[in-house]
Amino acid sequence: MEFKTLEELKQHCLQCSACDLRKSATQVVFGEGNPNATMMLIGEAPGAQEDKLGRPFVGPAGQLLDKILAAINLRREEVYIANIAKCRPPRNRLPRPAEVAACRKYVEQQIELIKPQIIVLLGALATKTLVHPDARITRMRGNWIKKEEYWMMPTFHPAALLRDASKKRPVWEDFKQIRDRLQAIDCG
Ligand code: URA
């Protein structure tokens, strides 16, 4: 399965029925943003607001993500935002391994088509899916990982920050590293 454009991939994804999540979800949340973005951010799965509006990170975690981006002088339109799972799991449970397996081709192709220089992995699921199944977010966050041509930075998910304020400081440290690398890319 090879797609030439994000739009082609999106149209295919909107028709997907590879797992049962599509049956309980209102709609597929493909992802959005700048198709030529230098930076892509990848979360877990749509929540209630995302499922309702068809857009990623528009609920409480998304509002916090917008603030974090603003703190490094970025607007969400400048980056590309997506999730590992494109359909909302019932009651916001974690997507199951089989659901992640069914969906991962979409995020992989989004990465291939956008070719960002930096990929921010928001939380454990994105880190386990795109780095290594045994990856631990608490150990890996804050460390750059080079995978193929991409620099990946795992950090805590914004929803985790809403539950635990002590994670704010480490996430800010991680985004300062991201800001510095973005600056270096611009100047290069
Ligand atoms: N949490 C996520 O991981 N993704 C969203 O789109 C919203 C909340």
Q: What residue owns the CA closest to ligand 1's atom 7?
A: 57
- The rounded Å distance from CA 180 to ligand 1 centre is 25
Q: Give residue limits of the domains in the chain.
A: 6-182
Q: What is the pLDDT of residues 161-178, one digit of tens each?
A: 999 999 999 999 999 999
The confidence score (pLDDT) of residue 1 equals 63
- The rounded Å distance from CA 86 to ligand 1 centre is 10
DSSP letter string, 90-154 = GGGPPPPHHHHHHHHHHHHHHHHHH--SEEEEESHHHHHHHT-TT--HHHHTT--EEETTEEEEE
The confidence score (pLDDT) of residue 2 equals 84
**Which segments of the chain have a pLDDT < 50?**
none
CA angle, residues 165, 57, 74, in degrees to nearest 5: 80
The confidence score (pLDDT) of residue 72 equals 98
Distances in whole angstroms, Cα of residue 34 to Cα of each of 6, 25, 113, 126: 11, 25, 12, 20
Q: Is 129 in the pocket of ligand 1 (CB under 6 A)?
A: no
Q: Is 45 in the pocket of ligand 1 (CB under 6 A)?
A: yes
Query: Which residues neighbour 82 within 8 Å (Cβ) at sequence distance 6 or greater?
Result: 30, 31, 32, 40, 41, 42, 43, 56, 107, 110
C-alpha–C-alpha distance, residues 39 and 182, integer Å: 8
Q: Which CATH superfamily is domain 6-182 in?
A: Uracil-DNA glycosylase-like domain (3.40.470.10)
